[in-house]
Amino acid sequence: MPGAEIFSSTEASAATTIPTTSRDGVYYNARLDPKNYLEGPLSTNPATRLRQMLARPGIVVAPGICDGISARCAIEAGFDCLYQSLQDGQPDLAIATLNDFVGAAQMVCGINPTMPVIADADTGFGGPAMVGRTVTQYAKSGVAGMHIEDQVQTKRCGHLLGKQVVSREEFLTRIRAAVIARDAIPGGSDFVIIGRTDSAQVLGMEEAIERLKLAADAGADVCFIEGVKSKELLESTVAALAPKPVLVNVISGGLTPPFTYKEAEAMGAKIITCSLLSGILRGHGPCCSCRDALPEEDGNGLISAQGMDPKSFFEVMGLNEVIELDARAGGTAFEVV
């Protein structure tokens, strides 16, 4: 089973939930039917919690994060879902590897293991076997769901020009591989598969919507159209794909208008992600202003300009939890901080 190598064949055969397929060839897994997630308290399992959030009223707002610090800040700000897009100091040009993404996911998901994290999976990092491996590695890391796209392997940021996409069938092969790997996880995984198309800017909106319809039929739980350029196009996309949930990605200066989450919800979107780049761009000006205001011989002005002393900053990073754990274990290292 592609991607299931981290599980023994005995465990997989004993615990895998076998999906059923309707007569018209549309994937259907009764266990994952949204109606099963409408009631009850939110789960401590992040993938199950994400499915509950998708099945219930309200839009899922997922700010972009890339590391422990940005994740801590988003959690401190009160968000209940995170969007991990790797920012390793390199341009988004298929430079980062699966291991890079998994390492970042392990760090982020370890901060609050109940927090749903939606992770970027680019093109799946290879053929069907690598797509499957991506699913199992992400799920093992605690990721709640991932999106996989139809760009060529030498992909780029969805808001750059010059994109190229693979054929419909190759895109669907990626979706099928992800679904097969998810369904092979012992115990029955709730891991969410998000099909993303970048074809709107290359082949037009009609083709983009058709690709997402096919991805949904192949088992994608959510549809993600990158670079939708207007309110009307987003609304028509949502209508065409209903009842499948639709994700919209907003990035400062990108192809998609800067919708607020309330506007996106009114248009019918179920998830809105705000790329980390948006926050970086918004913060660049203030940071430069702080830098220019620094005394030539003293760098402490930056912290005071942000209105936060070191202890307050580290509290956002989890300082109090560390102090509590140390004290409960009998330690004395943090009696005074």
Residue 184: name the closest of 7, 48, 51, 322 by CA: 7
Please, are residues 132 and 181 in contact by the beta-carbon 8 Å criterion?
yes
Name the active-site residue from 66, 109, 249, 274.
249
Instruction: Tell me, yes or no, if 174 is annotated catalytic.
Output: no
- The verdict on whether 168 is a catalytic residue reads no
Of the listed 157, 176, 217, 261, which one is catalytic? 157
Kindly compute the dihedral angle of the four CA atoms of residues 81, 132, 107, 327, in this order, to the nearest 10 degrees: 90
**DSSP characters for 147-207?**
EEE-B-SS---TTSSS--B--HHHHHHHHHHHHHHHHTSTT---PEEEEEE-THHHH-HHH
CA gap 150, 315 in Å, rounded: 41
Which of 92, 150, 183, 198 is flagged as catalytic? 92
Measured distance CA(19)–CA(109) in Å, rounded: 28
- CA dist., res. 202 & res. 256, Å (int): 15
Asked if 320 is an active-site residue, the reply is: no
> Which one of the listed residues 182, 226, 261, 274 is annotated catalytic?
226
Q: Tell me, yes or no, if 206 is annotated catalytic.
A: no
Give the active site residue among 159, 174, 176, 196: 196
> Is 45 a residue of the active site?
no
**Do residues 184 and 17 lie in contact, with contact meaning Cβ atoms separated by under 8 Å?**
no
Look up 66 and say whether it is catalytic: no
Look at the block and give the residue holding tokens 């350029």: 229
Of 147, 174, 182, 211, which residue is the catalytic one? Answer: 147
Active-site position among 27, 37, 83, 138: 83
Concerning whether 56 is annotated as a catalytic residue, the answer is no
122 is catalytic: yes
Contact 165, 203 (CB under 8 A): yes
**Residue 223 among the catalytic residues:** no
Determine which one of 120, 190, 198, 221 is catalytic: 120
- Of the listed 49, 81, 138, 149, which one is catalytic? 149
83 is an active site residue:
yes
Q: Which residues are catalytic?
A: 83, 92, 120, 122, 147, 149, 157, 196, 226, 249
